[in-house]
Structure 1
């Protein structure tokens, strides 16, 4: 009995040590020389994005030698943050990546008293502010998601950026035919299910929301939605695969391959965004990458940008270094620093005091009359459905799910997650 008691005490002691290490990694105390280290978690994953952000962090540390910023950009960002939320052990600063209120709201400090709040783009008001005026996070940039494309490839084959899903399918088939299979019509890095979920999520908006005759927002919110209405997306994705319009390695292709392939003019369209354009141009100065809104699906409807907050920084409500974290946000909010981040991430800035010209500015201006719709899953689906969209998409492309079974599984998971 004594043997088991000693073993139990050892396990408890080890758990306390590990727990203490975990807490110290997220909210670090001052060093022996008085230096404060702030932990910061970001969902930035493209090299160009991380490079731009790192340059601003370096400037801050040079101007504030007693404050260090420990930046982490883990590939499994959401999973890691869920673990930290469960332990109430969040980083001092963290990216809410589109979930400032719904997922992270109870963990963040209210920032409404900070000077930069007066200069927020009004388009973000409903996204990072609530009805009581609480400001949940500082937006480093905004999202205007659509489809990236190789300008020269489309020009060579006489393709205009498609405005409807039918035109998009025709464009993909034209690329396949005229390139004799040398150019991938639609390239998807599907080894990560999130990249497949992105496509389903963006196309769900024109399928189920923006067209007045096919708008199911209320039903999605109240739980009465008929998931047979979702099947068209799976049918179109499967049709693309069956016709050879997707990369053959769709389920093993990795995100980092996109830059090199599109720089070599081997990709026509892709949903990869971020710093894809400038990164590809670094490899091939002659390549031109454009961006376009998501095509309409129903006759008479218009294309849509999909967006809201892109990358943000929130302050953990229990951080031991709130003053230092606020000082960092104030520094980030300076126009020259926001400009650096917006240009480095190829995304619009989020402050009215900044007019950043980034790689895709020409296209944002070309399509400036197109409405920006919020991300589908953030408004209409319960938490956890993003993973379901990605997993079912992978199963569809592997042949283990039919389009009809995909919709059925989506409905089952939707109902299950609504009850949690």
Structure 2
């Protein structure tokens, strides 16, 4: 039964308040800002309104890049040409995506098809249809299958693009200073020292933004997995059981503070914006950026000769190996209670065709979630090179309660600003972990 208007309004206001916070990682759990405008229906010139025998499917996506959106809309247009009685209406809410979807969950009134942006099982599992019997389900990649498939075999979503986030790096800078791609955190920090020293401080080994503090959170999220989850002896179960010893967080916090104090992070970290980074990268003033290469296009607009590379997260614990953070980036799931479920599955199956998955992979420059899609772009060779690297789900999505991403971003920035010590950072994480976990 649907909520009353007053109840829904209360939920909306509560969520809007709760989610006013720090920036989040690019798309997939947290997209970058967009204009928030709805996309016109992708129906080859037909009206978006349901008229006569036409069926309108509403599709929500976290994609924020206009070029990527156009690819999705063209695929939808091709679908409607083959299925003239089905009209696709896209919505691209940008940074409001999570808030809107949470309100819709509370009202049990979800879009026909929507992007699960990293939460297919944990957040949306009970709302979405099982897609295991779809022809494409058997073609999921080995790295993405466990991310969107539950223990009972339910397949929650088609993963159009798979997230594999580590560090993006400036190929020219590493070549200039004769640095091999680091495989351990010690090697990464040794590279930072060499770059800082030999460039006389002209090159920032790392770029972070205290304003767009998802960049700080991204570093901590990567190393939350590398310190506590990926090693053979790990704390994964203690996090899940709520029994993690938060004193263990202090060395990670101290490592980040040491990087700042040693001059490895841009001096204006507290005032710099993420949008400042591409120009500096293009000028050879930045070596490493935590996260995927979503900014590469902006760099190459400034310097077409600039080369962006990608690498896994260097191992933090002796004896461990590098990892990627990630899982589902752009997906399509079907609302199980939707009145147009058959049509929704039909559209998702159309998107899953190899030729359409290839278009999406080429546009997003991300590995597809289905096998045998041979996209070619400037990062294809990197993904092939690192195809055997383990991919761990984003640390905060699995091991921290909802709301902790914001805490980690803000506390990490406060640490860099000198208003929190590493120990106080750990105490803050413990306090908020227990509070949010018990809500």
Tell me the TM-score range normalised by the shorter chain: 0.7 to 0.9
Q: 1:222 aligns with which of 241, 262, 276?
A: 241
Mapping of residues 113-124 of structure 1, within 5 Å = 113-124=133-144
Equivalent residue, structure 2, for 1:312:
331
Q: 1:169 aligns with which of 189, 196, 208?
A: 189
Q: 2:352 aligns with which of 318, 323, 333?
A: 333
* Structure-2 separation of matches of 1:48 and 1:234: 38
TM-score, structure 1 length as denominator? 0.86
Equivalent residue, structure 1, for 2:401:
382
Q: 1:189 to 1:346 in 2, by over 3 A?
A: farther
Equivalent residue, structure 2, for 1:178:
198
Mapping of residues 265-344 of structure 1, within 5 Å = 265-344=284-363
Q: How much is the aligned-residue C-alpha RMSD, in angstroms?
A: 2.7
Q: 1:202 to 1:385 in 2, by over 3 A?
A: same
1:148 and 2:168 equivalent?
yes
TM-score, structure 2 length as denominator? 0.82
Q: 1:380 to 1:346 in 2, by over 3 A?
A: same
Q: Deviations over 1:275-306 (max 9, x none)?
A: 33345335433111111110111222221122
Shift of 1:237: 1.4
Equivalent residue, structure 1, for 2:28:
none
* Structure-2 separation of matches of 1:152 and 1:61: 46
Q: 1:260 to 1:332 in 2, by over 3 A?
A: farther
Which runs of no fewer than 5 residues in structure 1 stay unpaired? 1-10, 19-24
SS in 2 for 1:212: coil
* Structure-1 separation of matches of 2:209 and 2:76: 30
* Structure-1 separation of matches of 2:153 and 2:92: 30
Q: 1:356 aligns with which of 361, 375, 379?
A: 375
Q: Deviations over 1:152-202 (max 9, x none)?
A: 111011111111112211222222233333332211244233332221111
* Structure-1 separation of matches of 2:326 and 2:292: 12
* Structure-2 separation of matches of 1:247 and 1:314: 40
Partners of 1:148 and 1:292 within 8 A in 2: yes
1:197 and 2:224 equivalent?
no
1:108 and 2:134 equivalent?
no
Q: 1:129 aligns with which of 149, 152, 168?
A: 149
Shift of 1:334: 1.0
Which runs of no fewer than 5 residues in structure 2 stay unpaired? 13-37, 42-47
* Structure-1 separation of matches of 2:350 and 2:339: 19
**Aligned residue pair count:** 398
Q: Deviations over 1:60-117 (max 9, x none)?
A: 4555555132231412332332232223232222211111011111121222222211
Partners of 2:166 and 2:291 within 8 A in 1: no
Mapping of residues 57-68 of structure 1, within 5 Å = 57-61=76-80, 63-64=82-83, 66-68=86-88
* Structure-2 separation of matches of 1:400 and 1:173: 25
* Structure-1 separation of matches of 2:393 and 2:307: 28
- The structure number with the bigger radius of gyration is 1
* Structure-2 separation of matches of 1:377 and 1:93: 25
Q: 1:39 to 1:399 in 2, by over 3 A?
A: farther
Q: 1:210 aligns with which of 211, 227, 230?
A: 230
Equivalent residue, structure 2, for 1:4:
none
SS in 2 for 1:269: strand
Shift of 1:133: 2.0
SS in 1 for 2:284: coil
Q: 1:34 to 1:194 in 2, by over 3 A?
A: farther
SS in 1 for 2:144: helix
Partners of 1:228 and 1:407 within 8 A in 2: yes
Q: Deviations over 1:356-379 (max 9, x none)?
A: 233222222333343222322233
Shift of 1:329: 0.9
Most deviating of 351-360 and 286-295: 351-360
Shift of 1:30: 4.1
* Structure-2 separation of matches of 1:252 and 1:41: 33
Q: 2:94 aligns with which of 50, 64, 74?
A: 74
Equivalent residue, structure 1, for 2:72:
53
Q: 1:250 to 1:33 in 2, by over 3 A?
A: farther
Partners of 1:37 and 1:70 within 8 A in 2: no
* Structure-1 separation of matches of 2:306 and 2:57: 39
